[in-house]
């Protein structure tokens, strides 16, 4: 098995230097680079189970490397850590490191010797860990045992699946596991088909604003999907407070880009809402939850004709009435979200789902607050009752966003 190493540093050049040194004696070594500035802190329950050793830089965001080292030392079953220090004072503070090396002048032989010792220690520690009587519990997710994933916590349960937080040995990081639940009263074959459809649809898409899927498998007759974890939560939580205009427009543009990628492979989302837009530490967002998505080109839909899926607050008029939907329905939902970000309230509010569906088709589009009134024409076009009056594709919307950005920059430059 190739050696797997986790490098924690803010400096890409230092990471490349370490990789160069290691490759001279472990040419098949695999690396994961964690930059705390962009990726944030590691999850508190992360045990680096997939790694033979951790290479920790002294300089990390928000705290000294020595603080990170003490934190790692307190985590059960954490692999050996090699600490790279700038001077004697920081080296003396490196409590818990297997070895302390000079950051500014790497001793190649010392690095080689230290990593070999780390690998040997890790191998012995893993043998002892696997021999523990309670080892099987680490891989239990409700009634299901899923090898290669360590249970951290249960996030929640829906009608079709249970959702857990886990550490994936394959991905080498914390992931979200969706495990297909028991059949109950729904046809188990259709539920399984819909669950697999979510992965199959996502596997066609490789885009920074679409959730990353790490694994699909079957365990104890249960299907599961392992996907990217988002420690910053979702847009629904973010809407609990005001969102500056620049941030709102950046989120809006990224969702539009995600829809362009999704629609390009012939997929409709059909349940676009703030809870399905996740936030990353680096400020980017990702679209998730394709459980009710539908391939535009498929002849036989899993859902019955006329069935209504989605969330009434964000549902297009045609979707709310069980009519045929296309990409313009997703753009309508995006328009509702844009209005909510700019107005700090939803465009339509009602006491029941049926009233909301009626309002989407019949109630005039409300006005944005005066401070954001310049974006009203964009909202009007996205929320047009008739799909023919909306943007006809996400690509057309992105082109309009670029035009508006250029106009805004020109206006700002003229005022300056």
Positions annotated as catalytic residues are: 271
| N-to-C CA span, the chain | 60
How far is it, in rounded angstroms, from Cα 396 to Cα 256?
10
* Secondary structure of the chain as H, E, C letters: CCCEEEEECCCHHHHHHHHHHHHCCCCCCEEEEECHHHHCCCCCCCCCCCCCEEEEECEECCEEHHHHHHHHHCCCCCCCEEEEECCHHHHHCCCCCCEEEECCCCCHHHHHHHHHHHHHHHHHHHHHHHCCCCHHHHHEECCEECCCEEEEEEEEECCCEEEEEEEECCCCEEEEEEEECCCCCCCHHHHHHHHHHHHHHHHCCCCCCECCEEEEEEECCEEEEEEECCCCCEHHHHCCCCCCHHHHHHHHHHHHHHHHHHHHCCEECCCCCHHHEEECCCCCEEECCCCCCEECCCCCCCCCCCCCCCCHHHCCHHHHCCCCCCHHHHHHHHHHHHHHHHHCCCCCCCCCHHHHHHHHHHCCCCCCCHHHHHHHHHHHHHCCCCHHHCCCCHHHHHHHHHHHHHHHHHHHHHHC
Q: Confirm if 342 and 378 have CB atoms less than 8 A apart.
A: no
3-state SS class at 200: helix
List the structure tokens of 389: 């009056």
The CA distances from residue 149 to 31, 32, 74, 226, in Å, are: 19, 18, 21, 9
């Amino acid at each position: 098995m190739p050696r797997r190493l986790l490098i924690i540093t803010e400096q890409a050049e230092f990471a490349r230097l370490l990789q160069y040194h290691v490759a001279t004696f472990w040419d098949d070594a695999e690396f994961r680079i964690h930059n705390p500035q962009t990726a944030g802190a590691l999850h508190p329950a992360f045990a680096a189970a997939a790694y033979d050793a951790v290479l920790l830089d002294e300089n990390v965001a928000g705290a000294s490397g020595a603080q990170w080292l003490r934190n790692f030392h307190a985590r059960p079953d954490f692999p050996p850590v090699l600490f790279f220090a700038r001077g004697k004072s920081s080296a003396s503070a490196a409590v818990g490191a297997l070895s302390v090396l000079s950051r500014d002048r790497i001793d190649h032989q010392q690095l080689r010797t230290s990593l070999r010792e780390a690998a040997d220690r890790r191998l012995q520690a893993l043998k002892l860990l696997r021999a523990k009587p309670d080892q099987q519990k680490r891989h239990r997710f409700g009634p299901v045992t899923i090898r290669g994933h360590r249970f951290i916590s249960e996030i929640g349960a829906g009608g079709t699946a249970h959702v857990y937080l886990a550490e994936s040995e394959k991905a080498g990081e914390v992931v979200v596991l969706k495990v297909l639940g028991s059949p109950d009263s729904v046809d188990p074959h259709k539920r399984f088909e819909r669950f697999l459809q979510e992965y199959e649809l996502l596997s066609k898409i490789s885009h920074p604003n679409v959730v990353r899927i790490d694994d699909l498998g079957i365990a104890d007759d249960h299907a599961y999907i392992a996907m990217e974890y988002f420690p910053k939560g979702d847009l629904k939580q973010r809407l609990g407070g005001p969102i500056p205009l620049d941030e709102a427009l950046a989120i809006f543009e990224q969702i539009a880009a995600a829809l362009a990628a999704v629609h390009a492979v012939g997929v409709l989302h059909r349940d676009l809402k703030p809870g399905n837009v996740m936030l990353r530490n680096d400020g980017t967002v990702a679209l998730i939850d394709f459980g009710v998505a539908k391939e535009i080109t498929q002849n036989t839909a899993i859902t019955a004709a006329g069935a209504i899926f989605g969330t009434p607050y964000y549902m297009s008029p045609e979707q709310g009435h069980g009519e045929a939907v296309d990409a313009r329905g997703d753009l309508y939902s995006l328009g509702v979200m844009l209005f909510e970000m700019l107005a700090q309230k939803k465009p339509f509010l009602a006491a029941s789902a049926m009233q909301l569906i009626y309002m989407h088709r019949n109630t005039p589009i409300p006005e944005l607050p005066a401070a954001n009134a310049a974006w009203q024409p964009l909202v009007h076009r996205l929320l047009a009752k008739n799909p023919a009056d909306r943007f006809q594709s996400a690509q057309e919307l992105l082109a309009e966003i670029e035009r508006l950005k250029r106009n805004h920059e020109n206006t700002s430059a003229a005022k300056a």
